[in-house]
Structure 1
Amino acid sequence: MFREDTKFASRYEIDVLNKLTGKNFEYDDLIFLEKISGLDYRKRVYLNDTQIGILEFDLVDLDWKFIPSPYYYLLEKPKVSLKRTKRRLKGKWLNEDLVENIEEFKELMNGDMDYLGLELGDFIGVGVKKNNRLKVKDLVRKKEIETKKIKDYLDENKKRLDALEKKSLEILKKYVNMYKRKGYVINASFSGGKDSSISTLLAKKVIEDIDVIFIDTGLEYPETLKFVKDFAKEYDLNLHVVKGRDFWSELDSQGIPTKDNRWCNSTCKLIPLKEFLRNEYGDKNILTIDGSRKYESFTRSKLDYERKNGYIDFQTNVFPILDWNAVDVWSYIYSRNMMYNPFYEEGFERIGCYLCPAALNSEFLRVKELHPDLFNKWVNYLKKYYDEEDILRGFWRWDELPPKMEELIEVLDRREDEN
């Protein structure tokens, strides 16, 4: 159904949708969010299998926006009623002679709504206001929207989930047995995120007393540190906590970590992990069970089920949930009543370091709301090199700005000239 890594809407995202639309979606409603390209967070919003709009974080206004699709106006009565016509309207500017409720239309055009719902017989659509005119963005034939709960989806997809679990366990057993025969030590990597939570518990089904490795980079959210301890206790994990090297002592010499230069990954994770593995297991080779998925990113889309670590030459990784998408992951978590990191309900897609340049800018600004102390510590450092407005829009996250961010600068410059 979906082309990208799609997930259920979190509580935070549903709260945002309700605030922007005035609706009253419930946390257990079946609402899918599908990633699409954009400057930052940008996703299609589906009510069950019907797209009702796009939710995005606007880096110009630094705020959330909802762009309605035609079917959104099956949930809300369209405000503009059109006369029947044989003219093709989609993509055209709307002439006032086609509007039935002309007086109301004129009032709406003077209002502050950017999008207006349109109704034309059996068709429904959306128009966007530009330069005091209304452009018909789209028109579609009306239909019934079938609403469901997440539980309905889980019931309907139980066989799929069971099959995914079975396949992942088969992959694990295959590689565990293969590498055991080679004399490898086998452990599991646990980051405190949703994917590694699942891969860790799957690993425990295969090896009951498996070592589970968590790397505390020193830049984790307090909620993650608590979750890791609670998760380990709940599932009786043989947890090892590896302390990362001090990020702040390296910062001035290494420079601000960016998407182009994530030196922090080596300093805070890979180097201390390599040291731990040698100290813990001596000169033995290691097979580590990892929760990476190919749908997460373009880089990971090229993964096979096993891969030698490019940095730790005596470590090989196996990826038992490589083929799972985000809906599969969340379906598994919900259907198995698994514990999961509470920060996923607070507007975060990935659980990692609070200042990670790979995070979305909407997530970066969410840190400001939830942990202002952590946010301000990082921003105060960035102010040595950037203006505050540039920091808030995430320009620090690249050594060389991509075209989309260069375009954002042009938009901001034009707005400043107009003001």
Structure 2
Amino acid sequence: MKAQDIESKIDEVLSKVRPSLAKKIEYSIDLIRKSEKMALRLDPENGFYNTFSGGKDSQVLYHLVKLAGVKHKTHMNLTSVDPPEVIRFVKHHYPDVELIKPRMSIYDMAKKKHILPTRRLRWCCAEFKETSGAGKVTLIGVRKQESARRAKREEISTDIKGNRNEETFDQWSEHEEQMVTCVGGKDKILVSPIIYWTERDVWEFLNANGIPHCELYDQGCTRIGCICCPMSQPRQKTKEIKRWPHVKRNWLKTIQWLIDNGYIDHNFNDAETGFHWWISGKSFDKFYADEFMQSKIDFDI
């Protein structure tokens, strides 16, 4: 059975999990239902703009939205560096999810911007992910437990005219009327129904309800995202390029183009060196000192 076709009633779901998780499920569903009024006002035809990645958190969100019975449409933004296993999983188990192809590949975007995406300049998310759902109420599967940055998030994030605010639903609903007139263009409202969930909660929900997950989790991956994501650790990136060598080949071509056209001026002799600097996550000075200066030291003196 496809994950998309799994139909459950709320009472059945609640009876299969720990009482503490049951309370979180009820809270999440309640938050989604309370937010639907705003979603329909901004997009009467489709309601919520539900995001999907093929990862475990987005799966939970997908099924909670179904349990809530609200109007929505689910989308997955592709980046051209998506693991093929994830795309196959989504196409098979969630065929109703709209796959949005990028207007240009991440490699061509790097050429256009004349720079590679890095941890400090992560333009890839801005170009391929964050612009989706503009002018709508967008559901996202963010959890506080994931990182220190996300721990500061609240269940409602308003991004109105470049001013980001984090609020609880009660705070948000107090000025809902004024917000309707503000939202437009790229402004949007983000709702995080599983913000208080733990990783244990996520896996318990999926397993208790017999919801299949992507094979990559069973093969050692702890997260599912873009191959060689700038936010990944160097060790993780090294594993990924061994598994998906085509991504390294494409980045080598891109880096060589940037070198040949004078956009990378670190005196790299070849694209291979530039690639290893990029996945190291280090500044160029640190990378050069570790990789080249260290090798010139004569330890036998």
Distance 1:295 1:412 in 2: 39
* Equivalent position SS for 1:295: helix
List aligned pairs for 1:277-296, cutoff 5 A. 285-296=135-146
Distance 2:159 2:90 in 1: 24
Alpha carbons of 1:362 and 1:336: their partners in 2 closer, same or farther (altered >3 Å)?
Answer: farther
Alpha carbons of 1:211 and 1:182: their partners in 2 closer, same or farther (altered >3 Å)?
Answer: closer
Alpha carbons of 1:395 and 1:220: their partners in 2 closer, same or farther (altered >3 Å)?
Answer: closer
Report deviation, 1:324: 1.2
CA contact (8 A) 1:361 1:393 kept: no
> Where does residue 117 of structure 1 map in the other structure?
none
Report deviation, 1:346: 2.9
> Where does residue 194 of structure 1 map in the other structure?
56
One-letter amino acid of the counterpart of residue 34, structure 2? K
Q: Which sections of structure 2, spanning at least 5 residues, go unmatched?
A: 1-14, 163-184
> Where does residue 12 of structure 1 map in the other structure?
none
> Where does residue 244 of structure 2 map in the other structure?
371
Match of 1:340 among 201, 210, 213: 213
> Where does residue 324 of structure 1 map in the other structure?
197
Distance 1:253 1:183 in 2: 33
Distance 2:43 2:248 in 1: 45
Match of 2:102 among 244, 247, 258: 244
> Where does residue 171 of structure 1 map in the other structure?
31
Relative contact order higher in (CA < 8 Å, ≥ 6 apart): 2
Per-residue deviation, residues 71-97 of structure 1 (Å, max 9, x unmatched):
xxxxxxxxxxxxxxxxxxxxxxxxxxx
Give the TM-score normalised by structure 2.
Answer: 0.69
Q: What's the C-alpha RMSD, in Å, of the aligned pairs?
A: 3.3
One-letter amino acid of the counterpart of residue 193, structure 2? P
CA contact (8 A) 2:144 2:152 kept: yes
Match of 1:222 among 64, 84, 107: 84
Alpha carbons of 1:380 and 1:182: their partners in 2 closer, same or farther (altered >3 Å)?
Answer: closer
Distance 1:395 1:362 in 2: 9
List aligned pairs for 1:254-293, cutoff 5 A. 254=113, 255-271=115-131, 273=132, 285-293=135-143
Distance 1:318 1:250 in 2: 29
> Where does residue 308 of structure 1 map in the other structure?
158
* Equivalent position SS for 2:94: helix
List aligned pairs for 1:350-365, cutoff 5 A. 350-365=223-238
Report deviation, 1:201: 1.1
Match of 1:203 among 65, 69, 91: 65
Distance 2:289 2:198 in 1: 34
Report deviation, 1:256: 0.7
Per-residue deviation, residues 14-58 of structure 1 (Å, max 9, x unmatched):
xxxxxxxxxxxxxxxxxxxxxxxxxxxxxxxxxxxxxxxxxxxxx
One-letter amino acid of the counterpart of residue 117, structure 2? P
Which is higher, the Rg of structure 1 or of structure 2? 1
Distance 1:380 1:181 in 2: 46
Report deviation, 1:299: 1.9
Distance 2:291 2:84 in 1: 37
Report deviation, 1:176: 2.0
Give the TM-score normalised by structure 1.
Answer: 0.51
> Where does residue 213 of structure 1 map in the other structure?
75
Higher helix share: 2
Alpha carbons of 1:338 and 1:362: their partners in 2 closer, same or farther (altered >3 Å)?
Answer: farther
One-letter amino acid of the counterpart of residue 248, structure 2? F
Alpha carbons of 1:202 and 1:409: their partners in 2 closer, same or farther (altered >3 Å)?
Answer: farther
Higher strand share: 1
Alpha carbons of 1:408 and 1:267: their partners in 2 closer, same or farther (altered >3 Å)?
Answer: same
Distance 2:41 2:253 in 1: 53
Alpha carbons of 1:382 and 1:325: their partners in 2 closer, same or farther (altered >3 Å)?
Answer: farther
